[in-house]
Structure 1
């Protein structure tokens, strides 16, 4: 049995930007100020509560506030067992595109993210990829990573788009 993990426009590397959802809840609280709430003690408590999950503080690594983010969300290397489990995936399928409108930057759906200057750093140039912190580089090197970039698909339509299903998903379901 083939074990595939299909990621349909999900913020694998994080979320940072003025998305439709963020501006809906906080129309005057732009990305440049969100870290004040998310990285505060109140934001840290709220993010753990299900009723506050729309804040997305877990996936808001502000590239300008990296030290705050790391202090509030300590990262650690995966254990050998965790990496072994990740590497059990036979195929990791990453699907996303520039017209998503919610995942910001959209490249996060493929493990890309902003640097301090808000320039996209692609997956292969991310520190945790180069160090193979959780096995992504190993998975890629053995040919078990499929990356699809599709234009013209809005976030709420990925799951129902026939082209996405036929061209990016169907073959990995067998």
Structure 2
């Protein structure tokens, strides 16, 4: 289980082992996202072997996207519940959170960096989803178009099966996030070419069920949770969010 420290968890799940990896923290989080998925995935598979009864997997922000990548890249996992806590599942088109690292970066021209061989070695480049340069997105992005089964490969079937193994997928986000852009990306939404939001049920991947989201939804295994009033940096530490929208799904 991946979750930041929270006082209610031992009371809610006494005896549950909690693992909070410290790999790729701070600047290391910019390492290529596929590299992070493979490294974290080895840990998840080790946990799966140690706990054959099943485990829960919780990822916050970029960590939620990495966690989902693990489920697809390692389709023999035994994760029962996956909770994505304010994660850019539909991609990112906002640079505010990057200004500490790239002070001159603006979203209108960020594609020039991210849709390049150099940019694809930066984690954010892997899920940068510029609605005005979709041709470059599909051509140069080595992560999101594939992990979302928008670019079909020999792994597409396995990616889908990895998600269909879940008993439950919980997608949590909210309109006051301030970082995930659009905030509906936490629910697999994304911007159209006019920057209107294409919500999950209107996306190509849902309608064509390329990733299994529609199948999970129709089986009652997909939960979409919207929580207003929570800033991006509060999701993993706000007690009400954890008590109300995370712990009840860890049955």
Question: Under a length normalisation based on structure 2, what TM-score does the superposition of the two structures give?
Answer: 0.62
Give 1:163's match in structure 2, choosing from 240, 243, 250. 240
**Worse-superposed segment, 74-83 or 145-154:** 74-83
Query: Matched residues in 2 for 1:85 and 1:38: separation?
Result: 28
Tell me by how many angstroms 1:22 deviates: 2.0
SS of the equivalent of 2:93 reads coil
Aligned-residue Cα RMSD (Å) equals 1.6
Q: Which residue in 1 is equivalent to 2:173?
A: 96
Higher relative contact order (CA 8 A, sep 6+): 1
- Does 2:140 correspond to 1:63? no
Q: How does 1:1-174 map to 2 (within 5 A)?
A: 3-19=80-96, 21-44=97-120, 46-47=121-122, 53=123, 56-73=124-141, 75=146, 76-77=151-152, 78-174=155-251
**Structure 1: which 5+ residue stretches go unaligned?**
48-52
**Structure 2: which 5+ residue stretches go unaligned?**
1-52, 55-79
Number of aligned residue pairs: give it: 165
Query: Matched residues in 2 for 1:81 and 1:28: separation?
Result: 39
Tell me by how many angstroms 1:124 deviates: 0.4
Query: Matched residues in 2 for 1:149 and 1:10: separation?
Result: 13
| Structure with the higher fraction of residues in helix conformation | 1
The superposition leaves residues 95-143 of structure 1 with CA deviations (integer Å, 9 ceiling, x where unpaired) of 0001111111110000111000000000000111111011011101111
Query: Matched residues in 2 for 1:81 and 1:164: separation?
Result: 32
Query: Matched residues in 2 for 1:95 and 1:14: separation?
Result: 15
